[in-house]
């Protein structure tokens, strides 16, 4: 026999009655529901009600989504990425958000144009300020150069790197860049290494508040990484059994529960039976989380000594002894009905919602 709940009802100076809870959870009712390790859910919102799939039943079990999380599914370098000096397999940790951070490995790195200067052999003419030149040659995405100053004949005097490019094979230097309004440009280029080209996901992270994107992750040998994140929201974080259902053939577990606003839910189910229980927490006026010492269950209060499957009765034994059964509990007051309606005030409650916490 499991220990009785040791909370008491009564008033100062009065011998308080004792309470005892008995639950009938049914031979084939769902006793507990938890999120399976294989769960790949997304798109759910708090309050969604899911229905357990499969089995043979007169009433299917239902589960309520209590909390959801988001996670990172992919990342690519942002247009503002200024990464340099990273190494393959460097670990990057996503910053911000609330929760466990996602991590990535640097998968591939490229070189890039770091600086530009006018070569001594430059014979350029006809260029104007703000002309944009494209670096010629190399393998990859070409860098672009912006003309800053020219002389009276349009000869380039100074220039700057506009976009760095991304190369697996560097272009030549001096470089006969193309484009703009003039001809004959010859530019000296220097190259940097370790620009992030691609990353691979290591851990998705779990967030109650998502990180920002673009994101400047930390870690690795380099600096300047900026990543665009792909965020997936509405992953199941916690669920609560609403109704146990009534089955002649149990549903499968893990279970692909249906309903709600999302997809991909996978729940681990256990199945319960009748027993004396201790009350863990009051979930509502007639709904309780109870334990038989092995597992936890959700049961609904019934006013009487013979609960059916998925129900709980709470007996109130007064001095005498007189046994009454709780009809409802609201704001720390237990209402019973045994010939006449009576009420008992809870002594020393620890919290309004936890009116009947087990000792």
Residue 164 CA to its chain's centroid (Å)? 36
- 136 domain residue, yes or no: yes
Confidence at 67, pLDDT banded by 50, 70, 90: very high
163 and 251 together in one domain: no
Q: Looking at residue 340, what is its pLDDT?
A: 47
Cβ–Cβ under 8 Å, residues 61 and 78:
no
Domain C-terminal end among 195, 227, 256: 195
Tokens of 277: 């229980």
In the sheet where 156-163 sits, what is the strand order? 132-134, 144-150, 156-163
Q: Is the pLDDT of residue 10 over 80?
A: no
175 and 122 together in one domain: yes
323 and 249 together in one domain: yes
176 and 255 together in one domain: no
pLDDT tens digit string along 169-209?
A: 999 999 999 999 999 999 999 999 999 999 999 998 989 89
CA distance 355 to 228: 48
Q: Looking at residue 346, what is its pLDDT?
A: 45
Q: Looking at residue 2, what is its pLDDT?
A: 28
Q: What is the pairing mode between strands 311-318 and 18-24?
A: antiparallel
Q: Looking at residue 321, what is its pLDDT?
A: 59
Confidence at 283, pLDDT banded by 50, 70, 90: confident
Q: Looking at residue 322, what is its pLDDT?
A: 64
Q: Looking at residue 124, what is its pLDDT?
A: 97
pLDDT tens digit string along 95-143?
A: 999 999 999 999 999 999 999 999 999 999 999 999 999 999 999 999 9
With 0-12 / 13-18 / 19 or more C-beta atoms within 10 angstroms meaning exposed / middle / buried, residue 58 is exposed
Domain span including residue 39:
18-66+243-345
Cis peptide before 298 (omega within 30 of 0): no
Confidence at 280, pLDDT banded by 50, 70, 90: confident
- 6 domain residue, yes or no: no
CA distance 97 to 41: 20
118 and 39 together in one domain: no
Tokens of 297: 């269950």
- 116 domain residue, yes or no: yes
- 74 domain residue, yes or no: no
- 151 domain residue, yes or no: yes
- 96 domain residue, yes or no: no
Give the residue carrying structure tokens 């003419």: 125
Give SS3 for 183.
strand
Cis peptide before 321 (omega within 30 of 0): yes
Q: Looking at residue 223, what is its pLDDT?
A: 97
Number of domains in the chain: 2
Q: How confident is the model over 326-352, as a mean pLDDT?
A: 51
| For the chain, percent of residues with pLDDT exceeding 90 | 58
Confidence at 336, pLDDT banded by 50, 70, 90: low
- 247 domain residue, yes or no: yes
Q: Looking at residue 334, what is its pLDDT?
A: 60
Domain C-terminal end among 195, 227, 252: 195
Q: Which of 68-72, 236-240, 308-312 has the lowest mean pLDDT?
A: 308-312
Residue 82, number of CB atoms within 10 A of its CB = 16
Cβ–Cβ under 8 Å, residues 29 and 245:
yes
Q: Looking at residue 319, what is its pLDDT?
A: 58
């Amino acid at each position: 026999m499991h220990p009785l709940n040791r909370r008491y009802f009564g008033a100062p100076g009065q011998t308080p009655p004792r309470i005892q809870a008995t639950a009938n959870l049914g031979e084939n009712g769902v006793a507990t529901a938890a999120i399976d390790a294989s769960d790949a859910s997304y798109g759910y919102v708090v309050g969604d009600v899911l229905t357990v799939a499969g089995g043979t039943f007169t009433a299917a079990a239902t589960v309520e989504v209590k909390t959801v999380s988001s996670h990172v599914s992919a990342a690519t370098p942002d247009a503002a990425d200024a990464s340099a000096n990273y190494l393959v397999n460097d670990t990057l940790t996503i910053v911000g958000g609330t929760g466990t951070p996602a991590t990535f490995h640097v998968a591939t790195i490229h070189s890039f144009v770091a600086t530009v200067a006018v070569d001594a052999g430059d014979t350029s003419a006809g260029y104007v300020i703000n002309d944009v030149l494209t670096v010629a040659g190399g393998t990859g995405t070409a860098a672009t150069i912006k003309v800053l100053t020219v002389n009276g004949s349009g000869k380039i005097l100074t220039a700057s790197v506009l976009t760095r490019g991304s190369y697996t094979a560097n272009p030549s230097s001096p470089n006969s860049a193309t484009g703009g309004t003039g001809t004959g440009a010859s530019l000296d280029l220097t190259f940097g290494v370790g620009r992030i080209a691609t990353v691979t996901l290591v851990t998705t992270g779990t967030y109650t508040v998502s990180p920002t994107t673009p994101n400047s992750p930390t870690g690795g040998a380099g600096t300047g990484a900026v990543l665009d994140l792909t965020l997936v929201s509405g992953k199941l974080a916690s669920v609560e059994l609403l109704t146990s259902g009534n089955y002649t053939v149990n549903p499968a577990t893990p279970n692909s529960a249906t309903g709600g606003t999302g997809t991909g839910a996978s729940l681990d189910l256990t199945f319960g039976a009748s027993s004396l229980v201790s009350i863990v927490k009051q979930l509502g006026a007639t709904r309780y989380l109870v334990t038989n010492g092995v597992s936890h269950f959700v049961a609904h209060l019934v006013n009487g000594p013979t609960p059916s499957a998925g129900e709980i009765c709470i007996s109130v034994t007064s001095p005498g002894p007189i046994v009454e059964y709780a009809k409802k509990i609201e704001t720390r007051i237990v209402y019973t009905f045994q010939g006449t309606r009576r009420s008992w005030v809870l002594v020393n409650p620890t919290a309004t919602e936890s009116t009947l916490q087990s000792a």
